[in-house]
Amino acid sequence: MPPPSRPFICAILPANPSRHDPTLRENTTLINHAPTPDQVAIHPPAPLILRPMMLDDVDNVMDIESQVYTQPWSARGYRHELTRNDLAHYQVLLWDDGAEAPLLVGYTGYWLIVDEVHISTIVVRPDWRGRGLGELLFLNALLQASAQGATIATLEVRRTNLVAQLLYKKYDFVVMGERPHYYNDNGEDALVMTLEPLDDIALANLRRHWTILRARLQMVSPSVGERVQ
């Protein structure tokens, strides 16, 4: 199949970002540019909170990584992304009902290169799936990147991950290529999916989806606060 319509970003991304672990020089400066003062594009209904990922979140992120991936990314890699990569943008989703310490239930990350956003990760804690939280993270990344100047969005998805593919197609992503044997854990191929252009029509569609999703989250939120011990 042909390569993505805009191969520029693919030449910059590591061959397999999920296993990239560059040399880290410790730095506590958080690099996370965003279009709004509080650095998120949308605001979910309470007690859900969406905010930029910080260094203090990395341990909780790694806890989820170990539950989701057979070959999780390293804490060192995330710290590098947060402190040394100007292209990287990460957000976390918290459940904060005031009864206990906020619980990190999901996170997402993307790279923004000129006008192209590459969504690199969308993860929800396994026992919190099926409630629209992954879609919330995905939608925020698209809207935030658009506000930062992105006009095209790309991502990779496992060939067998039909649930994720349906979500991306819902947002008008189309398959533009593939990466054979992309995933290290089992050698599975990745499909490259693209949304282009990310223009006013696409943004209107994203906002329509957000209106629907917000209503769903408002109905679900009171019942998702039961923490699995």
Residue 33 lies in a domain: no
Residue 118 lies in a domain: yes
Q: What's the mean per-residue pLDDT of the chain?
A: 83
Check which CATH number belongs to the domain holding 74 and give it: 3.40.630.30
Residue 139 lies in a domain: yes
Mean pLDDT in residue range 192-209: 96
pLDDT at 17 over 50: no
- 156 a catalytic residue: yes
Catalytic residue among 65, 81, 135, 156: 156
Residue 40 phi, psi (nearest 5): -140, 155
pLDDT single digits (tens) 171-180: 999 999 999 9
> 94: domain range?
9-19+39-222
pLDDT at 37 over 50: no
pLDDT at 25 over 50: no
Q: Who has greater pLDDT, 158 or 15? A: 158
Catalytic residue among 78, 168, 182, 183: 168
Domain count, the chain: 1
pLDDT at 214 over 90: yes
pLDDT at 98 over 60: yes
- One-letter amino acid at 29 equals T
The tokens for 60 are 């909780």
Residue 76 lies in a domain: yes
Which pLDDT score is estimated for 78? 96
Residue 146 lies in a domain: yes
pTM: 0.81
- 168 a catalytic residue: yes
Length of the chain: 229
Residue 1 lies in a domain: no
Residue 124 pairs in a beta bridge with 106
Residue 25 lies in a domain: no
DSSP assignments along the chain, one per residue: -PPPS-THHHHHS-SSGGG---------------SSTTS-S--PPTTEEEEE--GGGHHHHHHHHHHH-SSPPPHHHHHHHHHH-TTEEEEEEEE--SSSSPEEEEEEEEEEETTEEEEEEEEE-GGG-SSSHHHHHHHHHHHHHHHTT--EEEEEEETT-HHHHHHHHHTT-EEEEEETT--TTT---EEEEEE----HHHHHHHHHHHHHHHHHHHHHGGGS-----
